[in-house]
Amino acid sequence: MKFAVIQFPGSNCDQDCLAAVNGISGVSAEYVWHKTTSLDGFDAIVLPGGFSYGDYLRCGAIARFSPIMASVVEAARNGTLVIGTCNGFQVLCEIGLLPGALVRNRGLHFICDMVTMRVEVADSAFTHGCPQGSLLRLPIAHGEGCYVADEATLRELNERHQVILRYATPHGRIDPSANPNGSAENIAGICNREGNVFGLMPHPDRACEARLGSADGRKIFESMIETIGSSRVRAA
Amino acid sequence: MKVKVLVTPKATVLDPQGAAVRDAMQHLGMPEVNSVRIGKYLEIEVDDKTPNLDSRLNDLCRDLLSNPVIEDYEVVK
């Protein structure tokens, strides 16, 4: 099983993503430079965090036009699992694979912190290793992580169970005090309607070993691996 | 030809930067300031003899220079 980690100029979590995936047995990850145009042979795609193209214009606005992105869109349409963390989430919104947008944090500060979030959908391709309502501790590090979408989009996200993670208190309550950046409805991560594209502001890639303060991020990558494994069984 | 493009946050999108500047202006002796919205201003030098300039420019304003989910744009010539 092979994961692609896309590298844009300015990506800075590519090594974390590669190490996170390679730390799980039976899987390997490879870098794919953004000027490449093929993703043949990969079972999953990771868009890492960072500051692609210096965040010029808007976060992710220029990266979405990178040559590799046409293949990412095609793979996503064909059902390949795609995960975008932090800047990767911003790129997925900019290119329209996920609804909404990410804007400047409400408090204007760049926030670098370990936060708690609640798993809202336990049977998603990215979280089925986590019971519904379970809590994950993952680091965030962003200046533009405030998720916004119009009312109709938010309603649809809720109705279709596309909100996968919400920022929560350490006791699992969803309230404004647990919202680090002003995101609508404490949204930390969403998936597309088909459920195979997932974007989140927190960094599971930076929390895959206990010595990093949390190993909860591993559950997300392990869920992806299980999803891919079981779909292969179904296909066979 | 010089084309100017103004990109502004949609009215429904919170603009914390604008709010901070509004507060600073009020603090510095202009309590009558009610609101500040901060956007972007782009000056684009373009060869105006190219065909379909307006529609191509508008397409790029929509796809690259602004994000229609959160921003509006205006082309000023």
Q: Is B65 on the interface with A (CB under 8 A)?
A: yes
Q: Do B67 and A104 touch (CB under 8 A)?
A: no
For chain A, which residues make up each domain, given as ranges? 2-235
A148 vs B contacts (CB less than 8 Å): 13-14, 69-70
What's the whole-number mean pLDDT along residues A5-27? Answer: 96
Name the residue in chain B with its Cα closest to that of A61: B64
Residue B8: its chain A contacts at CB < 8 A? Answer: none
Residue where the block lists tokens 């202006």 = B25
Residue B12 touches chain A, beta carbons under 8 Å:
yes
Half-sphere CA count of A53, side-chain side, radius 13 A:
15
Is residue A105 over pLDDT 70? yes
A49-80: pLDDT as tens digits: 999 999 999 999 999 999 999 999 999 999 99
Output B71 or B14, whichever has higher pLDDT: B71
Residue A151: other Cβ atoms inside 10 A: 9
Subunit contact A148:B16, Cβ cutoff 8 A: no
Joined tokens for residue B46: 């373009």
Sketch out chain B's domains with CATH numbers: 2-76 (3.30.1280.10)
**pLDDT value at residue A36:** 96
CA dist A181 → A124, A125, A155, A201, B13 (Å)? 25, 26, 20, 10, 14
A235 pLDDT band, cuts 50/70/90, is: low
CB of B17 within 8 Å of a chain A CB? The answer is yes
**What's the pLDDT score for residue A236?**
62
Q: Which CATH number fits domain A2-235: 3.30.43.10, 3.40.50.880, 3.30.1330.30, 3.30.470.10?
A: 3.40.50.880
Q: How many CB atoms lie within 10 A of CB A234?
A: 7
Task: Kindly tell me the sign of the dihedral angle through the C-alpha atoms of B70, B71, B72, B73.
Answer: negative
**Chain A positions in Cβ-Cβ contact with residue B42 (cut-off 8 Å):** none
CB contact set of A230 (below 8 Å; sequence gap of 6+)? none
pLDDT, tens only, A162-220: 999 999 999 999 999 999 999 999 999 999 999 999 999 999 999 999 999 999 999 99
Q: Does B31 touch chain A (CB under 8 A)?
A: no
A88: enclosing H helix or E strand? helix A87-94
Q: Where are the alpha helices (DSSP H) in chain A?
A: 14-22, 68-77, 87-94, 151-159, 217-235
pLDDT at A233: 73
Is residue A234's pLDDT more than 80? Answer: no
Look at B12 and A150 and tell me if their CB atoms are within 8 Å. yes
pLDDT single digits (tens) B22-38: 999 999 999 999 999 99
Q: A111-131, pLDDT tens digit by residue?
A: 999 999 999 999 999 998 899
